[in-house]
Amino acid sequence: MGRPVHVGPSGAGQLCKLANQTIVAVTIAAVAEATLLAEKGGADPAALRAALKGGFADSVILQQHGERMSEGNFVPGGPSKFQVKDLDNTLGEAESLGLQLPAAQAVRDRFAYFIDEMGGGDLDHAGLYLELKKRNNLT
């Protein structure tokens, strides 16, 4: 989970946890879009990940979840249902601070659709890729 770092007054650690979950969720959405774009354009998704490795776009999410997406492996490591819970907490905290987080809101709504309409709550959160494929009428 990381290393101990003092991030501020009481409650700041919880905000950092929400920030982490927000970054994970939004990055999963970005990786899903980039993976689908590459695949539909004829690129090999494994080669895409190799090409981006070490650059600014590289991340654990790109490498691990990008691989899950292109292989269709959605065995849960992090179930999708928890992403909605985490993003609801993030958005609630943001609202209490007078903030709008449009990317987090859009990704939250996509996860909610994936869970509620596609039955993806117990699939890995990389399964957001399936919601994207459905959105684009791809099977």
User: Any idea which residues carry the catalytic annotation?
Assistant: 17
Q: What residues are paired with 79 via a beta bridge?
A: 124
CB 47 within 8 A of CB 67: no
Give the Cα separation of 78 and 94 in Å (integer).
Answer: 23
List, in order, residues 6 or more apart from 73 with CB less than 8 Å away.
Answer: 67, 124, 126
